[in-house]
Structure 1
Amino acid sequence: MVNETNTKKSDAQRPHVCGPCCLGPIGFHARVRGDKVCLSHGGRLAEREQGTFRNGLVFINRPVKVNEKLCIRVLQEIPSWHGALRVGFTTVPPVASLPLPDFSIPNLTDTPGHWVVPVHESFTRVGSELSFWVSAGGSIYIKNKNMKHKALTGVDISQALWAIIDIYGQTSSIFLLGSKKTKGLCRRKSCPAAECLTLPNVDKPCVEVDNRASSPYTDSSEDDLCVVCFVTEATNFLSCGHRCLCDDCYPRYLQEFHACPLCRERITASSEDIRYVPGGLQH
């Protein structure tokens, strides 16, 4: 006879319901964004104030995988500005980039560990959908419905990578559709699935997103939250001493990456047996 209590507990601990082909939840980083950016619709809609062309930096809220294609839709533009969207990747954890500069190019690209490229204006018209990713060879590709473009080479893929999007110039509003990765016959995608999303009504006023609304640890300070999901309290110490990952993100992060997301120190096996409980550590 199945233990109903254990079954319910197991279901509650499950991070998502898409199954083994899920790449995990994805959205814009709630804490690290430009001064003129507002997030809404569960952290998927990013809007820059229309009175400026800068301060539009946003980051994806978790490290992305090599060949994981990030898909976005352009919702609004301001033709009076010059230039448009800029995309790229960084090995620097987003929280380490605070306070954010006004621009990705040249402010971020002049510092080590950042690779950002401008997207041609023909790719960023209202309603356009485009994807970008970094290949196994360390190249950034940008693709729309009709064209695939190799934009830059030399990205360091030996470390964890976070995606950068600069809502710059003419581009003033974008919607994150999700991400996908194909290898052979296996196709994986982010959770929730992009096709299940409802396109937001861009005429509605922007409302600040609070990704902690459904967290069981809403009394925790932001410094106590997992640096991957920024939803649940970080309960796991790494060998460097940082407590920065929750129970759901911890095993998945260790499967993909081997360095602390904060200080980049290599994670040793000893950290796998260390947990945090209120009042102290547990081995």
Structure 2
Amino acid sequence: MKDCICSKMREDHNNKTDPKMTHKCDSSCLGPLTFHPRVLGDMICLSEGGRRAERIKDTFKGGVVFTRRCVRISERIRVLVERQVPHWQGAMRVGFTNVRPSTRSLPLPPISMPNLTETSGYWATPVLESYCQEGSALEFWVTADGDICLKFQNSRKQRIEAKVDVRKPLWAMIDVYGQTCSVFLLGSKTKGLLSKKRSCPLPKPPIRRPSTFSLENTTPSENSDDCVSCLNMEIPADDLCVVCMVRQKDITLPCGHRCLCSHCTPKILVQFGTCPLCRLEISSPTVT
């Protein structure tokens, strides 16, 4: 049943025309991994094609999100912590549900634990604040025994006895809670004896031709992250993102380098997986 649902998601994805997405799913693809666009917490704003979930107000709650498609047993979901705020206690929670998100009544409960986990069909575990620093990446998945596993950068795997019911289709759940205020889905992967499968890659950014332009001829756009009119032209050169050289660097990577802006970080981690300065692997924890 689960494979049928996931196959249908891949078919729907392939049948949609997206000028930014040139990838076509095949037998080695798990399908696109995004957040559900309609079933989400009251304080959540989605962007980047449903891959970024950001809590938009100064609150610690209202951040529950689900994956749009079901996930497989041992499918490792990779998440990047983009932003945090220090004045709250606790950090994001991750888990799974076998309640189809689209069948849920709205609004969602403000927090996953205990509001959801005390009801049938929901399982979650908190992630320590120390593992949820800006720029940190983690993987989580459910085992065939129903345990939830977590794997962090340069650390051992943690296995939590959760008793997840794996007999039914499962959707991943993330609660953008407490200090965690923005997360980004880096993708997912499974590893079998003879093959590996991954979720659809991120759309490649459009190719931009080098040009000389003046601010006088640039039309402002409130909805564009790349609009020159939105840039702070007073940012010192030493504070600029080393990739775009336009926005202020505001993400500290696990290696300690603060060299990327929040706009460039997800793309760099997905495409290269290393710090631009020291080349330390940071895309995701090492799979063992």
How many percent of aligned residue pairs carry the same amino acid? 46
Of Structure 1 and Structure 2, the greater strand share is in 1
Letter in 2 for 1:136: A
- Does residue 77 (structure 1) correspond to residue 84 (structure 2)? The answer is yes
Alignment of 1:136-151 (within 5 A): 136-145=144-153, 146-151=155-160
Q: CA RMSD in A?
A: 2.2
Q: 1:206 to 1:30 in 2, by over 3 A?
A: farther
Structure 2, unmatched stretches of 5+, are: 1-13, 18-22, 206-220, 225-288
Aligned to 2:180: 171
* Inter-partner Cα distance in structure 2 for 1:205 and 1:37: 20
With normalisation by structure 1, the TM-score equals 0.63
* Inter-partner Cα distance in structure 2 for 1:46 and 1:68: 20
Aligned to 1:121: 129
Tell me which of 135, 139, 143 is aligned to 2:143. 135
Aligned to 1:187: 196
Aligned to 1:158: 167
Pairs aligned (count): 189
Give the secondary structure class of the aligned counterpart of 2:50. Answer: coil
Structure 1, unmatched stretches of 5+, are: 1-11, 199-203, 208-283
Give the secondary structure class of the aligned counterpart of 1:42. Answer: helix
* Inter-partner Cα distance in structure 1 for 2:122 and 2:180: 21
Q: 1:83 to 1:197 in 2, by over 3 A?
A: farther
1:206 offset after TM fit, Å? 8.3
With normalisation by structure 2, the TM-score equals 0.62
Q: Contact between 1:140 and 1:150, CA under 8 Å: does it hold in 2?
A: yes
Alignment of 1:9-24 (within 5 A): 13=15, 17-24=24-31
Q: Contact between 1:50 and 1:172, CA under 8 Å: does it hold in 2?
A: no
* Inter-partner Cα distance in structure 1 for 2:33 and 2:148: 20
* Inter-partner Cα distance in structure 2 for 1:206 and 1:168: 26
Aligned to 1:96: 103
* Inter-partner Cα distance in structure 2 for 1:82 and 1:14: 41
Q: 1:14 to 1:188 in 2, by over 3 A?
A: farther
Aligned to 2:11: none
1:19 offset after TM fit, Å? 2.4
1:20 offset after TM fit, Å? 1.3
* Inter-partner Cα distance in structure 2 for 1:179 and 1:23: 8
